[in-house]
Structure 1
Amino acid sequence: MKSYLSRLRTLTRAVSALAVASVLLVQTAQAGTFMPECYKPGLGDTGTIKHAKKEGPYRVALVNGHTGIPWREQMIKSVKVWAAAPENAKNITELKVVSTGSDVAAQIAAIDNFIQAGYDAIAFIAVNPTAFDAVIKRAKQAGTVLVSFDNPVDNPSVLRITPEWIEFEGIIKAQSVVNQMKEPKGKILEIRGIQGNSTDRDRHLGVQKVLAKYPDIEVVEVVGNWDTGTVQKVTADAIAVHGFFDAIICQHGCRGVTNAIKATGHPPVPVGGDAENGFVKALAMNDIPGISVSTSPGQGPVAVRAAIALLQGGEFPALVNVPTPYVETKDMKPNVNYFPDEPDTLETVTGYAVCGADMVFTPAQLNAQSADNN
């Protein structure tokens, strides 16, 4: 027994030393990366991304996928605001913005068109996480910098910028909802996003990870497509079929949840949702317990700035996790967490202050821009 314990202690020390060494290697590999306070390495990622330096100014494209979603529209507007600022405009000879819809082939074709037209960098939100490997190879051959953000591709050869979705939807949102329930039992309605999307996939995994700890909770899943009208309909339909729920977890378009609660007479229950102004107002002004968790449309300019920095020779962690702002109902304040005089569609967290003063945008700045293709 003594010999066994001795070997066990030796093995434990060796494993601990290896873990420390691994952390130090990661820190060394990622030391000196661009704006580390903003572009933090994703959990478990050890690589970095760097391109050959290229003289500017640059031709830059933004390729959005799904359309008709206010978050995407505000993202495009925030990119245009950021790019128009004199300190940023000097590095950009042309900024082209296109939204291609949900067709994967159309989005790949748009990226290919920009590559063939000689654009220096392309930032994009992928419709599908696994369909872009071929176009990524073509971009590399052409010397075009690609940055994938928000719904990132599953390809480590390009810079990917995204929240840590499992933490976002699970450890933060779902756990807060369970904590605010009267007791951790009963029925929870989970309203998912667009199917086949990496973000929906990872957010759902986060919810599952948390709720697996509570065997007395039953989960009913519906698909809301991140669209307020669709979310309202599927929530109302679920209430009609299953009766009242003990809590609701919604990815996006969550103003539809509070609208459905009001329309159906459902009693207030803990609701985890997004940071759209209408949803946050509904929680705060109707004393609905819950949490607003945000992925800011400011990811757009964060990604475009990274693309330009890569062209200038900057180095980044291969996977960047942006911060996750959140606030519970009890802590919500007008004109801080929600804005009574602004439209319901405004994303209340307009940018990432940790990434610089030029990465937070006022409603007036955003309203002055168009979300249209140009």
Structure 2
Amino acid sequence: MKKLLLGTTLCALTTTFAAAEETHRPECFAPAPGTSTISYDAKEGPYKIAFVNGFAGNDWRIQAIQSAKAWAARDDNAGKLSEFNVVSVGNDSAAQIAAIDNFIAAGYDAITFIAVNPTAFEPVIRRANRAGTVLVPFDNVLDTDQVVQINESQMALGTLKATSVMEELGGSAEKILMVNGLPGNATDRDRRLGMMSVLEKVDGLEIVEVVGNWDTGTSQKVVADALATHGQFDAVVSQHGSAGSINALQAAGHPIVPMGVDGENGVRILMDELGIPGVSASQAPAMSAVALEAAVALLEGNTLPQTVFLPIPQVAAADLEAGVNYFPDLPKSFNTGTGYVDCFAPFTPEELLGQSPDNK
């Protein structure tokens, strides 16, 4: 097997495609199609690990920080750590790289992060490799194939939602509303492509698209405008901000129709209360904990796919259950993506809410 050595003998990046049987715990760290594999020389623990977050000003990012801290607090993981630190640096890419460099200089074994800018990290990847520090970006991943990256397939997430509503409709529909995300963002692009891959195959279907910016208030407004202009729809597929889409339908007296929606607590509450058929699926903030799990696996000498596509946390409307996959007593903004069952036991709300989002 041909290998490309990066820097020292620290890391070997294979140039062949990854197969699940070649990699560590493929039920969790599933290879993306066509990806290669990465492995490092094993290092003896316990390990010094940091999570360098960028922006921390929304509920998803706060819960990602809480998930990382909850992971580090679990007994099985705490025993593998000599130090664990979380810092948030805002939207300044230079500040994020400087923070990563500081942890590299301090001898940290691994660093996870959500990249502020996916194109600015080649020099820091080289510096980390020379120092023997493992980098594991997640969510907003990098334009590189030199490190293991943790994500969900955004196309698969869009495909799942569209497939669910079409199954509820028996495979035929006349008009469907698609509530997209932030224009120009790769995540919005890929989720839309996933939805369109299903809906474009439906004979005679009119697809009405609006821009919801992944925001509840914006989604409510644009859905209300679409209802006023186009009348009733057979189904709705929404990337995020789905509570706003549901609220607009209710305010207009629209009949209950199948929906593919996000995983916020308030969305699932509405879905169950109103009897909305379809699926709730999410990009889970607990991805931060999977990135830490991957960092430890790599430090222990295991082989992982270069690009990991995590299983998508989802629940069909018929399987919604209070206290299990949504929580009536918690804030509506709480994200129900509290873990990946194929990776580790999902966090309880108490585990997450017991952690602060502050730097430490």
Alignment TM-score, normalising by the size of structure 1: 0.82
Distance 1:29 1:271 in 2: 34
Q: Check if 1:343 corresponds to 2:336.
A: no
Instruction: Structure 1: give runs of 5+ residues left out of the alignment.
Output: 1-24
- Over 3 Å counting, the alpha-carbon distance change for 1:247 and 1:64 in structure 2 is farther
Higher-Rg structure is 1
In the TM superposition, what whole-angstrom CA distance separates every residue of 1:139-191 from its partner, at most 9, and x where no partner exists? 32333211122332232211112222222211x11111223347734443322
Number of the residue aligned with 1:19: none
Q: Which amino acid aligns with 2:75?
A: P
Q: Which amino acid aligns with 2:290?
A: V
Q: Cα offset for 1:248? A: 1.8
Q: Cα offset for 1:83? A: 0.3
More helix per residue: 1 or 2? 1
> Does the CA contact (< 8 Å) of 2:141 and 2:150 recur in 1?
yes
Q: Cα offset for 1:131? A: 4.2
Number of the residue aligned with 2:256: 268
- Over 3 Å counting, the alpha-carbon distance change for 1:340 and 1:63 in structure 2 is same
RMSD (CA atoms): 2.8
Superposed counterparts of 1:157-176, under 5 Å: 157-170=146-159, 172-176=160-164
Number of the residue aligned with 2:8: none
> Does the CA contact (< 8 Å) of 2:17 and 2:34 recur in 1?
no
* Secondary structure in structure 2 of the residue aligned to 1:291: strand
Distance 1:129 1:28 in 2: 23
Q: Check if 1:64 corresponds to 2:50.
A: no
Instruction: Structure 2: give runs of 5+ residues left out of the alignment.
Output: 1-14
> Does the CA contact (< 8 Å) of 2:224 and 2:248 recur in 1?
yes
Q: Check if 1:94 corresponds to 2:83.
A: yes
Q: Cα offset for 1:88? A: 1.5
- Over 3 Å counting, the alpha-carbon distance change for 1:117 and 1:228 in structure 2 is farther
Q: Cα offset for 1:229? A: 3.0
Number of the residue aligned with 1:39: 29
Q: Cα offset for 1:301? A: 1.0
Distance 1:350 1:68 in 2: 19
In the TM superposition, what whole-angstrom CA distance separates every residue of 1:18-62 from its partner, at most 9, and x where no partner exists? xxxxxxx979876453323322222232x2111233333333221
Q: Cα offset for 1:286? A: 0.6
Between 1:188-197 and 1:35-44, the stretch displaced more is 188-197
In the TM superposition, what whole-angstrom CA distance separates every residue of 1:288-318 from its partner, at most 9, and x where no partner exists? 2221113332211111121122122222122
Percent identity over paired residues: 52
- Over 3 Å counting, the alpha-carbon distance change for 1:100 and 1:255 in structure 2 is farther
- Over 3 Å counting, the alpha-carbon distance change for 1:372 and 1:128 in structure 2 is same
Distance 1:149 1:59 in 2: 19
Distance 2:274 2:318 in 1: 11
Distance 2:189 2:102 in 1: 29
Distance 2:83 2:324 in 1: 35
Distance 2:197 2:138 in 1: 24
- Over 3 Å counting, the alpha-carbon distance change for 1:148 and 1:292 in structure 2 is same
Distance 2:26 2:139 in 1: 18
